[in-house]
Structure 1
Amino acid sequence: MDRRSFLAVAGALAACARPTRSASPRSRSASPRSHTAAAAPSPASPAPQPSSPPPDRTVEVLDWTFQTELGGSKRAVILAPRPIPAGTRLPVLVALHGLGETTDPTTGAWGWAKSYGLDRTYDRLLHPPLFPEDFQGLVTSERLSEINESLAAAPLGGVIVACPYLPKDIGGATPIELYARWLGERLLPRVREELPARADVASTGIDGVSLGGWAAIRLAMSRPDLFGVVGALQPAIVDSAMVDAATSLIAQHLGKRPLRLVTSTEDMYRNTLVELDKRLTGKGVAHEFAITPGPHDYPWNKGPGGIEMLLWHDRTLHGGRGT
């Protein structure tokens, strides 16, 4: 499949309805503790460890509006840790919501903070240890211990999370290239102007869930000059044709930068994502792959989804690899 066919297949996602609960996958069961891809490389040098945070760290939530341009109305909610020490600049993560929040710019921009509770998730990561209820009960004892040990050894460094509205017709009536242009010319410059944010590509990540996960991969491929770190939570890769195309394009465009794919035991896309992981590993594409407990639904977004996204990007954008 060529790139034109690939984008045409992906554009069909705009017509899909977001499920509220997925059926159990038909493929063989996989361990929910599959957290590291075989091909993932080790960092070239030891990761710098963030300094111990003050006990009063909080998360500030900002609501930004933008001019209607470059494809339509735009809005973004920003999550920033406070206080940020003088002279410190933090990495930036662009986090994209799922199809259920595409109804309007306000709902979309607030998707991660309000619908998925990312501000609370962020606060809990700043004040460990975490407990099973922080994962909505969707965590193994082994993974919970790993995360708490990691946070005890090196507290969260902190990232500025930008959560923009993602239109339902992304990749269709709203071209990927046009939306990426808005990210690069409007959203990211404003983040760096109004907040102490780093501006280099290696310190800028993108991620998202479901529709937003697939859009994150496509945006990173479209604009490698903007995003140096790429993640995707339960990305909506719906069939084998998309797996074929995604394997080829990821190998071509993202093969030399940190990449992580996350699915779950009851994710409707789990089978195709397991296959994508196998294909990428077979091609020697360095990446990480994780399967956690849980459904393709809001409890997962509020629990493992948000925790895994924030922790991995925090570790990776600060110069190391996530836990």
Structure 2
Amino acid sequence: MGLTPNHVLKDFAMVSIRDSIFIIGGRECEKVTKVSPSDHETPGTNISTSEKDVVIRSSVLRYDTSTGLWSQCRPLNKPRYDFACTVLEGKIYVAGGLSELSVALGTSCAEVYDLSENKWTVLPNMSTLRYKCVGVTWQGKVYVVGGFVNKLDMDGKFNHVVRCSVETYDPRTQKWDLVAGMWKLDVPPNQIVQVEGTLFSSGDCLNAWKGHIDSYDGKLKIWNIVDGSQMHINPSFDHGLMSIQRMYMTMAPIGTHLYFLAGYRIAEEASRNVSMACVFDTSIKGGAWSKLEPIEEDVEKELCSHCCVVELS
């Protein structure tokens, strides 16, 4: 819904409130097929598909799982992609991101969506401009973790600050605080989720799966490898001598479990995809993995690295 034909949506946010899923912002890209001049007489050879940025979206789409219907919500006050997004007390918070296609410089703008009023309200700006950051709700606050960050100095010039910094927003005080060193890597995180008061991460934006799960110790302010979480996540099916390429991996918490959903493509068959899921139980001492059988799909589709959990009443 809301996309021009032959276009795809990238770098958007996807969250849920009750039985509804929300698709927020992102950049709309046009699929462009390239054929070299020497191939005009030989159809089907050396044809490649690329994507061209068209527009940064401010749109908000809502999918009602109980009715199966899509609808348009009030758009963002500021279009953005590669931004932080999380839900706190039934409201959607967004912060940071990129708002211009020609400038790789983040924004400090933040806003909150009230579903009951179908309204976005502008929040105070963060103290930093950041994009490729991750949003998570923890201890009653909104955390905007990592990303590529800049900060204005007293002369109005940009000073680069440590990428591992975090901005936290407290709805009670309506203020942002800058926390240094919470994310220890120089590379922005891929995802951070909260399970029963503990934060978990499994990779960064360059490598969505590092081979294990990390948990955050809020007292010592360090990330530790979770016992028993080391695993080689790969589809266990007979693919002969064909090579497989992971296209995405996303993590979602359900109860005490972490679900890892992955999509793979058979390198020799561009239209052949494999989907699989692995589950890690955080409640068991030393952890426990289980793996669902992979599903092969022969239908060509656009693989997506977004997911969210819907709690049905």
The TM-score normalised by the length of structure 1 is 0.25
Q: Give the structure with the higher percent helix.
A: 1
> Who wins on radius of gyration, i.e. which is larger?
2
> Larger relative CO (CA 8 A, sep 6+): 1 or 2?
1
